[in-house]
Each structure stands twice: as C-alpha cells, then as structure tokens.
Amino acid sequence: MISIAMPMIGNEEISAVNDVLRSGMLAQGPKVAELEKAFAEYCGTKHALAVNSGTAAIHAALFAAGVQPGDEVITTPFSFIATINPILMLGATPVVVDIDSKTYNIDPQKIEAAITNKTKVILPVHLYGQPCDWSEIQSIADKYGLVAIEDACQAVGATYADKKAGGLGDLACFSLYATKNIMCGEGGMITTNSDEYADAIRRFRQHGMSGPYQYEHIGYNYRLTDLQAAIAVEQLNKADSFNKKRQENAESFNNALASIEGIELPFVEPDRTHVYHQYTIRITDKFPVSRDEFVQAIREKGIGAGVYYPKSLYSIKHIAESGRSAGELLETERACAQVVSLPIHPMLSKEDIDTVITAIKDIARNA
C-alpha cells in the first residue's frame, strides 16, 4: 500500500527526543523556546508561539484578535473543520465565502459582499499548500479595519511574492500534526509581529496567566511539550528539503498526467510557491469514470488516494446552524464532487511515483 501521508523521522529527531528524556524536563521549557526562535526566523516574523495543536493555534489567534460572541469571522467552507470550530468556541459566527475554481482558495472578489458591521476577522486558508490572494485580501482587511489571520496549517514554507506564509497576515496559524509537511505528532504554532498579540497568546495557552496566580482572562492548557518541540526543531531544519521533494514529485505527476483527458492538474499562481501538502487533481465529466469510481479503483490498486474535502463545512449541521453563507457556494460544491489527492509525501520512491502514474493511466484506458 502506498499511503497518502507518512512522516519522515530520522536519527536527528530520535536523538533530540532522547536528550530531552535524559534532561528530565519534559514539559514546556528550553526546547519550546528554541523552536519558537527558529520558527519566527524561518517565517520572517518577530514572534512565534508554540501550542499543542493547529486547532489551539487558531483558537488562540482568534482570541488575541479580540473575537467575541456576536462577532463575525469570514472564512472558507472548503477546508478542514478545525478552521471553523475555533470560531464557534469563541461564540462568534463563521461567515463562509465561495472559493476560486483554479486554486481552491477563498475568492477575494466575493469577500466584500460578506462584510457587515459585525465582521472582525478574515481567516483565509492556504489550501493544499498554496498561499491565497494575499494582496487582495489585505487591501480589504485594511479598508474595513479587519484583522487578517492566515490558516497556514498546510503551507509551512510556501511563499507569496517572495514572502513566507506566516509573515503575510496580522497573525498566522500552523499545525505540526503527524501528516503535515513538518510535524511532531501533535502541535501548533502562531506567528505575528505584534507584541500585544504575542503576550495575549502566551497568557491564553497557560490559563490566562500573566504572573504567579495572576489571571487576566480565561485561558486553556495549550502548552507544547519539550519532547514534541525537540522533534519539531529537527523537522524545521528539514522543511525546505521536504518541500523540494514534494515539488519534484508534483512535477513528475504534472508531466505524466497532463495529456490525460478529463483530469485537471493543480494550478499554481505565478507569484507563489506551492508546497503540496496535497497534490490535488479534479476528475471532470470528461474522464471515463466518476470521481468516486476513480478513488475506489486506485485504492484497489494499493494506492491511498484521499478526498479533501468531500463535504462543504457549511453542510455540517452545527456549522450551518450557527453560521451564515455569503451567497451560493457553487465552486465549493463542484470541488467537493471532483477533487482527489494523490500520495505526494517525501518518503515516496521513484517506483512509487511510477506505480501511481501507471495506475491512473490504466484506469483512464480500461474504464
């Protein structure tokens, strides 16, 4: 079985964890501080704060931005559910805007119509590893005085006009979950240039604490452990080489699949780099079998293809009940029906890539 995701763990990670175990200091300590310094440098921001998941990162960033019950947060319905649940956790209202058909990212042309006097934040997602249309999004945020937060959970190392994801918005959120481009099992990061936001996040991840037994507001235990930070430091050192391998794998697929009728390849905007957290194609009506038949056939050939995402977040009951949709979500619905992601991770061998390509050609030919 060629799996859709697989972490790459080397001797560096293993000995770094052993060092932490031997130190006796397992909870948040010097390794977390080291990770935060390195991550901020990597993204080109003043601060990076570690938390224990990408979901916690989004929750903390929205809190730092001042999101309160009744506020509205504009986001995309074509993402993982952890983009929207933290909005609800703060009692705010998610307002979803349809996506662009080529990049699958939020369509900036449709954002302005979604703004009301309750809008506080725009939370776009750099889906699959390609940054969204940031200059358009930032101008809207500036015009209406909104906080712009990147959900960069899938986009560590991706660039927009030579700037790294994480350094584009007022705040940005990353995940270090096991399947992400760099990982430590579970973990998250928030980047920002604002001292005030950084302080709020430091309190929020630790019970709202500003000093010994001084509590400024509600908080959680969202701390990352030094055990995990030790893994993440080593993974961050390898981020660029991991991403390069993903890009090379994508290039191989692009070359081999370009001529197959009914398959639409990933589209990359000229001013961006895509780090291919997912390599996602569309199976259109011109392909001999449906998307679902394609997924079944390729899985039967031992290839773990995935559908990210089969359902609009707006079709999920608790989100539809508390949220609002700004207009129709036709491109989201079309993407949910057509997309499929192929294995692209850096552990794939040349033979694995060839196996995937042959399998797809077989399905196209013998359908």
Kindly state whether residue 312 participates in binding ligand PLP, applying the rule CB under 6 A: no
Q: Largest Cα–Cα distance of the chain, in whole Å? A: 69
Alpha-carbon span 259 to 265, nearest angstrom: 10
Q: Say which DSSP state 297 is in.
A: H
Question: CB of 54: closest distance to ligand PLP in angstroms?
Answer: 2
Kindly state whether residue 82 participates in binding ligand PLP, applying the rule CB under 6 A: yes
* 3-state SS assignment for residue 192: strand
Question: CB of 358: closest distance to ligand PLP in angstroms?
Answer: 29
Kindly state whether residue 306 participates in binding ligand PLP, applying the rule CB under 6 A: no
Q: Could you say which of 28, 45, 83, 338 contacts ligand PLP (CB under 6 A)?
A: 83
- Which positions from 118 to 147 touch ligand PLP by CB under 6 A, shown as an x/- string? -------x----------------------
Question: CB of 125: closest distance to ligand PLP in angstroms?
Answer: 5
Alpha-carbon span 20 to 14, nearest angstrom: 10
Write the CB contacts of 211 (distance below 8 Å, at least 6 apart in sequence): none
Cβ proximity to ligand PLP: between 155 and 348 the closer is 155
Question: CB of 112: closest distance to ligand PLP in angstroms?
Answer: 23
DSSP for 12-52, please give it.
HHHHHHHHHHHHT--SSSHHHHHHHHHHHHHHT-SEEEEES
Cβ proximity to ligand PLP: between 151 and 359 the closer is 151
Kindly state whether residue 76 participates in binding ligand PLP, applying the rule CB under 6 A: no
Strand order in the sheet with 163-164: 163-164, 159-160, 272-273
Positions marked catalytic: 180
Which stretches does DSSP call E strand in 186-237? 188-192, 209-211, 214-215
Kindly state whether residue 93 participates in binding ligand PLP, applying the rule CB under 6 A: no
Kindly state whether residue 188 participates in binding ligand PLP, applying the rule CB under 6 A: yes
Distance in Å from the first CA to the final CA of the chain: 22
| Phi, psi values for residue 121, rounded to 5° | -135, 145
Cβ proximity to ligand PLP: between 27 and 178 the closer is 178
Q: Could you say which of 45, 55, 103, 243 contacts ligand PLP (CB under 6 A)?
A: 55
- Which positions from 147 to 186 touch ligand PLP by CB under 6 A, shown as an x/- string? ----x-xx--------------------x-x---------
Number of H helices, E strands in the chain: 11, 16
Kindly state whether residue 280 participates in binding ligand PLP, applying the rule CB under 6 A: no
- Distances from the Cα of 7 to the Cαs of 58, 144, 280, 288, in angstroms? 23, 41, 19, 34
Q: Which residue is nearest to ligand PLP (CB)?
A: 54
Give the number of C-alpha atoms closer than 13 A to the C-alpha of residue 188, restricted to the C-beta side.
Answer: 22
Kindly state whether residue 78 participates in binding ligand PLP, applying the rule CB under 6 A: no
- Which positions from 319 to 358 touch ligand PLP by CB under 6 A, shown as an x/- string? ----------------------------------------
> 227-236 burial, b if ≥16 CB within 10 A, otherwise e?
bbbbbbbbbb
- Distances from the Cα of 125 to the Cαs of 169, 173, 274, in angstroms? 11, 10, 13
Alpha-carbon span 275 to 245, nearest angstrom: 9
| Phi, psi values for residue 251, rounded to 5° | -60, -45
Kindly state whether residue 273 participates in binding ligand PLP, applying the rule CB under 6 A: no
Q: Could you say which of 45, 53, 191, 225 contacts ligand PLP (CB under 6 A)?
A: 53
Q: Could you say which of 49, 51, 54, 235 contacts ligand PLP (CB under 6 A)?
A: 54
Question: CB of 76: closest distance to ligand PLP in angstroms?
Answer: 9
**Interacting residue ranges for ligand PLP, rule: CB under 6 A:** 53-55, 79-80, 82-83, 125, 151, 153-154, 175, 177, 188
